[in-house]
Amino acid sequence: MTDAAASYNLLFKIELGENKNMNNAISRRQAFGLGAGVIVGLALPLRPTAALAKNDAEEAIKSFAGGKTPEKAKVKLELPEIAENGNTVPVTVSIESPMTKDSYVKDVLIIADGNPRAGVITFHFSPSAVPEANTRIRLAETQNVVAVAKMNDGSVYMASKEVKVTIGGCGG
């Protein structure tokens, strides 16, 4: 663990989502590197368009939220606009909550709607925790990252941000 918030791990248990298996997938940057002895900085293999990139994100959110429609509030999602390295994108999620026995964040689900599988990670909090967590996630392509927070009273909130995974090489 190298993240500043690593110590928060003591306060909640982390559940890795199914896309941990994605480590087997070859990233686009790597795939391109394999194919060419001389690599143009501008090049990555084919990217499906956003419309084709849908996965099980909607179902995952629905089942996590218990059928409720999450309200766009209380959740803050910190992500870069453009990923420097799609293989390891830093994400920090924080939730507005008093974190008392009577009112606290229970679970936070992170979803990536353009990965082969949407589920990334679920954080579980206890009332004594700091309602913030960070980790690094892998993004296969440009897509939305969504954080859904479930409070102890069953109410659900969310935030989402588009992260662009780009070829780069031509700025300036």
List interacting residues with other proteins (CB under 8 A).
Answer: 2-4, 33, 36-47, 49, 78, 80-82, 84-85, 90, 142, 162, 164, 166-172
- Looking at this protein, which amino acid is placed at residue 172? G
CB of residue 12 vs other proteins: minimum separation in angstroms?
19
CB of residue 10 vs other proteins: minimum separation in angstroms?
18
- Looking at this protein, which amino acid is placed at residue 122? T
Residue 163 in 3-state DSSP?
A: strand
Nearer Cβ to other proteins (44/60): 44
Nearer Cβ to other proteins (2/24): 2
Distance CA 165, CA 47 (A): 10
Q: Which two tokens stand for residue 80?
A: 């870069």
| The 14-16 sheet, strands edge to edge | 14-16, 119-124, 105-112, 143-151, 156-163
- State the Cα torsion 62-65-69-71 to the nearest 10°: -140
CB of residue 168 vs other proteins: minimum separation in angstroms?
4
Q: Which two tokens stand for residue 105?
A: 């964040």
Nearer Cβ to other proteins (25/43): 43
Nearer Cβ to other proteins (56/78): 78
CB of residue 116 vs other proteins: minimum separation in angstroms?
19
